[in-house]
Structure 1
Amino acid sequence: MDTVLKLDNITKSFPGVQALQRIHLEIARGEIHALLGENGAGKSTLMKILCGIYQPDDGTIVIDGEARHFANYHDAVAAGVGIVFQEFSLIPYLNAVENMFLGRELRNRFGMLDRSRMRRAAAEIFARLGVVIDLSVPIRELSVAQQQFVEIGKALSLNARILILDEPTATLTPAEAEHLFTIMRDLKRHGVAMIFISHHLEEIFEVCDRITVLRDGQYVGMTDVAKTDVGRLVEMMVGRKIESSFPPKPALPTDAKVVLEVNALQLHKDGPVNRFALREGEILGFAGLVGSGRTETALAVIGADAAHVKDIRINGMSANLSDPADALKSGIGILPESRKTEGLITSFSIKQNISINNLGKYRTSRFFIDHGSEARATADIMKRVGVKAPTMNTEVATLSGGNQQKVVIARWLNHHTNILIFDEPTRGIDVGAKAEIYLLMRELTARGYSIIMISSELPEIVGMCDRVAVFRQGRIEAMLEGDQIESNAVMTYATAGATAGTRGATQHEHA
């Protein structure tokens, strides 16, 4: 094997935490190597060591047979290591060319910026990647997928021989993700070694050659993709077998109370008018391609986005939800797609995040809060939703993605909501934590909560939802339930609409 990278006995600790313990990773030239593990397993710490952002306490980094020490990120780049971060490192007000050559601008013989040469170099890289990027507009005007490809182009412009891809498909559509895989295969043919981090195990089997698994900061093992399966990988990651990711669906009564009735919702003057209802104790899925109108519909319901026409009843009573505060008063809470920027104040503690929308509950006077009562309530609700943390005063930024999501759920349960909207509830969450979130959702519906779940993951839609509203171009094309909820039907309605085949149930049969 032509080994290009070898990490041996990498160890790293932080105050009170053993982050990595004697980790081994070996990658061949032209190999796509998956790095798997639950959130908190040590993947990000290991990659930051490889990139020179962290320094290991022990162990060696060997590239092309030569032991290397990276004092900083620039040392790693000089050695041919590039990384495409999960959270983009691009400057939004600069264009793609300026981002790619930031800090290493090309100059002519007079010392002036050679913009035309940089533009040609960028154009050549994007042509190689097979993507079309407007090189003249600021990054903020590009789509998320285009920004992702700019990140990859930036790494390739650094002549990276070892490329780290950290959750690169998290915000891509299936078609965009497939294009990324085509690019990765081309890079592989050109000898680039890649470390691929993803929570989507089906992607691992599609594009990777070998897999290294970490658990709790320790090396679990390495295996060829062709010699393993999903069940074995999950067991390696979580240390136990997970028989089924999805809890069983309960049999809901046909006369279940309608808690939310959307009689008419038209987002724009010339747009379609949608109708649907949410029953007590059910999970109603919103499915469809990215941009199909799923999230926009949910935001319009709670008043976060304006609607041209909106006729809503909650528990049989007409409701005027002009903003999210009105929705909250009516018992509706939302777990936004971006929990870090929209759902949490990450620099606050768990207790502060859970209490922030309901401080009046603990107020003893205009100026004083009963902190003892607040702490007891926080401890109780943390236990109910299964938040795992040293204390309730732990900063939310230090929690895993799964525990952060549970903190958002705990906040709304603390506010006496009975309708919850989950927008991409398991995005960026590892397989073990996903199973916990799914179980928690079913426990909530068993206690009478009603849930709208927006998800781009078909297995999640099929495995969790009692009914599914399939969106296409802003319109609910079908309302599926029971045996009608299967992948092919969802995708047919999402891509071709109700005219493509026999309708299972239309949106007019919404109640």
Structure 2
Amino acid sequence: MTNLIEMSHISKAFGGSKALHSVSLDLKAGSVHALMGENGAGKSTLMKILAGVHQPDSGEIFMNGEKLDLKSPRDALNAGISTVFQEHSLLPNLSIAENMFLGREPTTRFGSIDYSAMSSQTARALGELGLTLDPSQLVSNLTIAERQFVEIAHCIQADASVLILDEPTAALNAADVDVLNRNIRRLRDKGKAVVYISHRMEEIFELCDTVTVLKDGALVGTRMVSEITTDELIAMMVGRELQDLFPDRTDDKGDEILRVENLRITETAQPLSLTLHKGEIVALAGLEGQGQQRFLRSLIGRYHPFAGTISINGKALKMPLSTSAGVRHLQQLKVGFVPEDRKEEGLFLALPIAHNIAIGLHSRRPELAPARPYRSVIAHMMEVMNIKAAGPSAPVGSLSGGNQQKVLLGRYLAADLDLLLVEEPTRGVDIGAKSEIYHLLRDFTRKGGAVLVLSRETIELIGLCDRIYVVHHDTIVAEMPAAQATEHKILDAALMGGSTRQH
């Protein structure tokens, strides 16, 4: 295979921080090339240079032997380089079709926008990914997973020679990942060069031909995937072999902290009940869109269930909780909610790390109480969570995705809570940071806390949790100890559809 793209000795600095140190990368036509490294290793910066978002301080880029001068994303797209960034770039107030053709809308012979052509071409691009979404639907009404697929369909629809996929499966469940992988192989077989950035090891070994590892902005090495083991790849990324990805479980189950009885998420849904004790990490598993998130958000007032009772530490909550004040009410009961979309719902990107962590501490104080700096608490959380940043005054928006996730989780771990409700605890987080987050959550429960978590990564739920509830059609269809669970058992229960509840 010939080199389609050659990135030669690329360097880039932001202020006094060196993001890339003379990194070289070759991409071959008809191949899937994995780009790996811990959060902050420089992967996204390197790809943003190839996508025309950033310009290198030094180094050169060649395509088919000819030098490229990429001064904007438009230059990259015109050269045949299309990107799906980890941070979604869709405009929520526009329709799917309008987003797909933004800036290059087809016109009729009278010069007006050809909405019919936009709609039909969008439907065709979505159909290739197995989606039946209405092209006229507003992006703001889509789930995180649906938005990700629209981004990928946009990338495919551009018919580029080079496709950059930055964490494309972070918001997808196993079935969606299979659909995506089939399309990536189809593009590879058509001679495209695909750059695949992911922290999911199983995807790298299943899908990719070559892997390049970056660490601290420098090139560690490039290897054929067929010639490397998982342990060797992890060692390249973190500088050591990673032992004990998941912490040991404990049998020290304490008092009941959460009880849900006969909750009906919708009028037609079957009632569900569950309990959670201090010292436990309990999972909500299942296929995408089966009600896990609706149930979790019923507990904070962001979704109004049809019926049911919920009590925390024996205190019954009046249902439904207020949409505007539900989260604040639960904070008073020492319950924290960690949302899936850290950028839109969790973090204040323009504010410093210190402010983002301290918000969780301030929110539990009386409204008229004088503010406190919490400097020692913030410094301790940054050290414990190994947040890589210039200091507590660094804006959260300047951090890598994994470090942003640590800041969000650190807000609630610092707030002395009893119960954490967590959506996707390690979305877009590297393997080393995943292990750190798993151990932090387990330490939280060892100190008497409890965690209710949902995740699309089944292996994560099996390794991290004590018990697993499987959700299908807005109700619980199975409950199993995580130590006895397998991916097959969970998928079987998720597909079974609740004809009989399993234990």
What is the TM-score with the length of structure 1 in the denominator? Answer: 0.89
For residues 129 and 410 of structure 2, the distance between their equivalents in structure 1, rounded to whole angstroms, comes to 43
AA of the residue aligned to 1:206: E
Is 2:83–2:164's contact at 8 Å kept on the other side of the alignment? yes
**8 Å contact kept, 1:97–1:122:** yes
Structure 1, unpaired ranges of 5+ = 506-511
CA RMSD in angstroms comes to 2.6
Which whole-Å deviations, capped at 9, do the CAs of 1:291-338 have from their partners, x for residues lacking one? 122222222123332233232333334344732222111111111111
> Structure 2 vs 1, CA of residues 152 and 457 (structure 1 numbering), >3 Å: closer, same or farther?
closer
Q: Offset of 1:359 from its aligned partner?
A: 2.8
Q: Distance in 2 between matches of 1:385 and 1:265?
A: 36
Residues 1:50 and 2:53 are matched in the alignment? no
Match of 1:369 in 2: 371
Q: Does 1:325 align with 2:323?
A: no
Task: Verify the 8 A CA contact 2:462 2:482 in the aligned structure 1.
Answer: no
**In the alignment, what sits opposite 1:454?**
454
How far residue 47 of structure 1 moved from its aligned partner, in angstroms, is 0.8
Q: Give the AA of the match of 1:300.
A: S
List aligned pairs for 1:286-305, cutoff 5 A: 286-305=284-303
Provide Cα deviations, 1:21-72, integer angstroms capped at 9, x if missing partner. Answer: 1111111111111111111111111011111211111111010011221122
How far has the Cα of 1:222 moved from its partner?
0.9
Q: 1:306 aligns with which of 301, 304, 307?
A: 304
- Structure 1 residue corresponding to 2:258, chosen from 260, 270, 274: 260
The SS at the match of 2:243 is coil
Of 424-433 and 353-362, deviating more is 353-362
Q: Which residue of 1 aligns with 2:244?
A: 244
Structure 2 residue identity aligned to 1:397: G
Letter in 1 for 2:58: D
Structure 2 distance, partners of 1:261, 1:175, is: 31
Structure 2 residue 334 is matched with structure 1 residue 336: no
- What is the aligned residue count? 498
Tell me, yes or no, if the aligned pair for 1:93 and 1:138 is still in contact at 8 Å.
Answer: yes
Give the equivalent residue in structure 1 for 2:213. Answer: 213
Q: What letter matches 1:339 in structure 2?
A: R
**SS where residue 82 of structure 1 aligns?**
strand
Which residue matches 2:20?
A: 20
> Which one is further off, 74-83 or 114-123?
114-123
* Structure-2 separation of matches of 1:414 and 1:81: 43
Query: Could you say which residue in structure 2 is the equivalent of 1:358?
Result: 361
The match for 2:472 is 472
What is the one-letter code of the residue matched to 1:291?
G
How does 1:175-190 map onto structure 2 within 5 Å? Answer: 175-190=175-190
Report whether the alignment pairs 1:485 with 2:489: no
- The correspondence of residues 493-508 of structure 1 with structure 2, limited to 5 A, is 493-499=493-499, 505=503
Instruction: Determine the C-alpha separation between the residues in 2 that align with 1:298 and 1:154.
Output: 31
Q: Which amino acid in structure 2 is aligned with residue 270 of structure 1?
A: T
The residue type paired with residue 426 of structure 1 is T
AA in 1 matched with 2:345: E
**What's 2:280 paired with?**
282
Q: What residue number does 1:509 align with?
A: none
What SS does the aligned partner of 1:306 have?
Answer: coil
- What CA distance in whole angstroms lies between the structure 2 residues aligned with 1:375 and 1:288? 41
CA contact (8 A) 1:303 1:327 kept: no
Q: Show CA shifts across 1:78-132 (max 9, x none).
A: 2111112223323344444433333233445664545555556556655666654
Inter-CA distance 315–219: structure 2 relative to 1 (3 Å threshold)? same
Counterpart secondary structure, 1:76:
helix
- Mean Cα displacement is larger for which, 446-455 or 107-116? 107-116
2:467 corresponds to which letter in structure 1? R
**Structure 2: how far apart are the matches of 1:229 and 1:285?**
30
Q: Distance between the aligned counterparts of 1:339 and 1:319, measured in 2? A: 27
The match for 1:346 among 345, 349, 368 is 349
TM-score with structure 2 setting the length:
0.91
Work out the percentage of aligned pairs sharing the same amino acid: 38
Contact 2:129–2:179, Cα closer than 8 Å, also in 1: no
Segment drifting more, 118-127 vs 46-55: 118-127
Between the aligned partners of 1:155 and 1:218, the Cα distance in structure 2 is 28
Measured after TM superposition, the shift of residue 213 of structure 1 is: 0.9
Note if contact 1:320-1:326 (Cα within 8 Å) is conserved in structure 2: no
Unaligned runs of 5+ in 2: none
- After TM superposition, the structure 1 = structure 2 runs for residues 56-135 of structure 1, keeping only pairs within 5 Å, are 56-107=56-107, 111-114=111-114, 122=122, 125=125, 132=132, 134-135=134-135
Distance 1:360 1:276 in 2: 28
1:283 partner letter:
I
Please give the alpha-carbon distance, in whole angstroms, between the structure 2 residues aligned to 1:319 and 1:117: 51
Contact 1:280 1:449 in 2 (8 A): yes
Give distance in 2, aligned partners of 1:324 and 1:460. 26
Contact kept, 8 Å, 1:96 with 1:136, in 2: the verdict is yes
Q: Which amino acid aligns with 1:51?
A: A
Which structure: larger Rg? 1
